[in-house]
Amino acid sequence: MTIKLLGSRFRPAKGIDQGILDNHRELVDSINRRGILRGSLTLGALTMLTGCELGHDGSIQTALRAVSEFNDDVQAALFRPDHLAPTYSVDQVVKPPHFNAFYDPEDVRPVEASSWKLELSGRIADKTPWTVAKMYDLPETEIIIKHICVEGWDYIGQWSGPSFKLFLEKIGADTKAKYIAFKCADDYTGSIDMATALHPQTILATKYAGQPIADPYGFPLRLRTATKLGYKNPKWITAIEVTNVKPGGYWEDRGFNWFGGI
């Protein structure tokens, strides 16, 4: 069940009839030609990006058209800072979390708590690096949210840790700056816009289902935001920069949409 989009896979999410996509082949092809959708994008992701409930004839067309018109500035302008993404109940939480990275789980290089430091740079008043203990001292916010990866899977996870807004305030970050860039222990990089960083459902997660995040899932610190797709959530974060110069990221540099969210 795949449709070629710019040479990448376009896999319908579970429960979506391939026929619906086939019926809109012309539209999919026209979006393809215009080079707007790069990388693989699922209908689950489209649902998230556009807020349309897909699966009915017609809604797919609306959703694809909406995405085709998107660019980062438009998406940023449409972003509603107080609009909350759906949350779920504790009994829906998947344990352990689903693992994904640009390499296999066997190749994860665990981070040592004792040597880990969070480096801070850019438009930040107090750039003193943070330790794990200091991170765990901050009050926690919990979110039970759906993680959607563009490869075509999703899972509901229960994440807790300091709200990113609280953390940015603590370090004296310039919250009028435009972007936040992340570096990770595995050389993954990522970036988000400031509005997303300040969103109430964006946290620096230290725990999953009430326990410290285990190695394959990003110990000791990962970003979890309810308004972005999986690749916009860096794991094993080691450095945070606040900047007005638009940063890239591992997947963004390979053609994935920079905004990557709702």
Select the residue whose beta carbon is closest to ligand MTE and give its number: 230
Q: CB 188 → ligand MTE: shortest distance, Å?
A: 3
186 binds ligand MTE (CB under 6 A): yes
Q: CB 230 → ligand MTE: shortest distance, Å?
A: 3
DSSP the chain: --EEETTEEEPPPTT--HHHHHHTHHHHHHHHHTT---S---HHHHHHHH----SSTTHHHHHHHHHHH--HHHHHHH--TTPPPP---GGG--SSPPP--SS-GGG--PPPTTT--BEEEESBS--PPBPHHHHHTS--EEEEEEEEETTTEEEEEEEEE-BHHHHHHHTTB-TTSSEEEEEETTS-EEEEEHHHHTSTTEEEE-EETTEEPPGGGTTT-EEEETTB-GGGS-SSEEEEEEESSPP--TTGGGT--SS-B-
149 binds Mo ion (CB under 5 A): yes
Q: Which stretch binds ligand MTE (CB under 6 A): 16-24, 167-175, 196-204, 234-242?
A: 234-242
233 binds ligand MTE (CB under 6 A): yes
Which is closer to ligand MTE, CB of 130 or CB of 159? Answer: 159
Binding-site size, ligand MTE (CB under 6 A): 18
Binding site for ligand MTE (CB under 6 A): 97-102, 147, 149, 184, 186, 188, 217, 230-231, 233-236
Binding site for Mo ion (CB under 5 A): 149, 230-231
